[in-house]
Amino acid sequence: MNIAHAPVRSTESGLARLRSYIEENDFAPGDRLPAERKLIPALGVSRTELRKALDRLERDGVIWRHVGKGTFIAEPESSLDLAMSAIALGRKLTPMRMMRARICFEPALAREAALNASGAALHRMEEVIAQSEAATSWEEYERNDDLFHEAIAGASDNLLLQVLFEKMNQVRRAVAWGNVRRETPHPAADHDSFARHRRILTAISDHDPDAAQEAMRAHLNDVSRRLFGG
């Protein structure tokens, strides 16, 4: 295996440089990457950029890290297998059970976000809320609603919680929700979720974990009542 330094690409992000470095040096599953002190000059990135890139590759399953031993290239995991497992599980869940799972998990996620959210994470939540409020179709609204909940997972600053949220989201997309009737082409200006999202964001911005947890629970309970009554 040739581990010569990869050429520095000033226009590439740290993540892109690290991916290129791995590809160009023919690292195989099980190979150990050089230590951070060697990767930093090889890639021409800062320690912060490198660690963010390593975190992303670990989240994507490209690498795995063993404390005290180093960072290793992971065995490739079939995205088709992952998709099929989510589809299989989604087919076994009723929409109501899927909602119950969200009500169990996402309030705790909002609590973690309130404890750990950075300024950038709060800005991202504000951005997608604004986009959902300006949506000109239900499809656009739902896409940004999904991004809002994803942003909360990211604000938790916990890789495992982010991965668990994404896995749950994959299953949610596979659940047969049936035909949801829409009486308008896009959400009304007073759509309930707009205010609920704002309350969640306010609680997270205030770093109030109890309020964030309760605001998310109230939001998901509202959604559940709209879908299933009761």
Tokens 């005290």 locate to 68
pTM higher than the cut 0.75: no
Fold classification of 14-73 is: Arc Repressor Mutant, subunit A (1.10.10)
> Residues of CATH 1.20.120.530 domain(s) within the chain?
79-228
- CA–CA dist 124, 138 (Å, integer): 21
Contact 200/215 with Cβ under 8 angstroms? yes
- CA–CA dist 221, 172 (Å, integer): 16
Contact 107/214 with Cβ under 8 angstroms? yes
Per-residue pLDDT for the chain (230 aa), expressed as one digit of tens each?
Answer: 544 444 444 445 889 999 999 999 999 888 999 999 999 999 999 999 999 999 888 877 788 887 678 899 987 665 556 556 777 788 888 999 999 999 999 999 999 999 999 999 999 999 999 999 999 998 899 999 999 999 999 999 998 999 899 889 888 888 877 656 677 888 888 888 999 999 999 999 999 999 999 999 999 999 999 888 86
* Second-level CATH architecture of 79-228: Up-down Bundle (1.20)
Sign of CA dihedral 61, 67, 73, 75: negative
Question: Helix, strand, or coil here: 193?
Answer: helix
